[in-house]
Structure 1
Amino acid sequence: MEQDAAHDRAVDAFLAAANTGDPQERDRLLSRALTADVVFWGPLGRGVGRKAVAEFITEVVRSHPSGPCRMVRTTRVDAPDEWARFGWRYEDAAGRVLLSGTDVVHVTADGDIDEMIVFAGALT
């Protein structure tokens, strides 16, 4: 159960970072969620480090044409050992779902995400 709480904390800190418009708060939250050398596989390719994740959030998540949008966790964090997955949705200010998906993360013994793979959209 302690492991599950660590996975939840890391995932929820990442989502909070994605949802804040304050770059300093984003950096603080990402430092709670991610290792400094996190490997991030997103829809635009591979990035390494918290800065790459912060730039993805700034350029893609926070800059949507629909205006301020937010990431919402839609499932529990399913965590068999150090790997975890969770469902999410990206919604506009009115709550309209713009995109949904599943992320897979690897969590260290310290409770930090050191690898994240984003799967956006439904499998057909």
Structure 2
Amino acid sequence: MPEGTAQSAIDTFISAFNASSGTCVIDLPSQALTSDVVLWGPLGRGEGSEAVERFVLDIRRHPAGTGTTTRCSEVDMPDEWARYEWVFATPDDGPRLAGTDIVHLRRSLIDQIIVFGGEPEPSS
């Protein structure tokens, strides 16, 4: 599978975190994910697009305010697996998270997401 196909699915998924409306949060992932997607996240394992929607909505409801999520690396794709780094930041220099996601693609759609995230290392 070409890296451009994976990057497109990944960027569509990430755009749900930054969507201007709740409807887009539901619509955008459905364009990038299989209906039986499996999410391995910080709170455990979830199955189906509804689990991913809940995860995205939970991040968007951060107590420090609505933040933005940005892919901050190239997509590295050996065969049907891809990985990328991301950063989440809230307004006014609020809490930040950073991490690496690993995704598996099937027929140009993400069918597994493994989220590794935490507080970023301080810059030196």
TM-score (norm 2): 0.89
Shift in Å, 1:4: 0.7
Structure 1 residues 104 and 7: CA distance shift in structure 2, 3 A: same
* Structure 1 residues without counterparts, runs of 5 or longer: none
**Residue in structure 1 matched with residue 21 of structure 2 by the alignment:** 22
Q: How many residues align?
A: 121
- The match for 1:112 among 109, 114, 118 is 109
Matches within 5 A, 1:72-111: 72-94=70-92, 98-108=96-106, 110-111=107-108
Partner of residue 68 from structure 2, selected from 70, 74, 89: 70
**What amino acid is the match of 2:118?**
G
Tell me which amino acid in the other structure corresponds to 1:45: G
Q: What's the RMSD between the two structures over aligned residues?
A: 2.0
Say which SS state the counterpart of residue 75 (structure 2) adopts. Answer: coil
**Deviation for aligned residue 1:28:** 1.5
Which string of whole-angstrom CA distances, capped at 9 and with x for unpartnered residues, describes residues 51-77 of structure 1? 111011112x11111101011101001
Structure 1 runs of 4+ with >3 Å offset: 94-97
CA drift of 1:118 comes to 0.2
The structure-2 alpha-carbon separation of the partners of 1:21 and 1:52, relative to structure 1 and needing over 3 Å to count, comes to: farther
- Identity level (%): 42
Shift of 1:93: 2.4
Taking the aligned partners of 2:94 and 2:70, their CA distance within structure 1 comes to 12
In the alignment, structure 1 residue 52 sits paired with structure 2 residue 51: yes
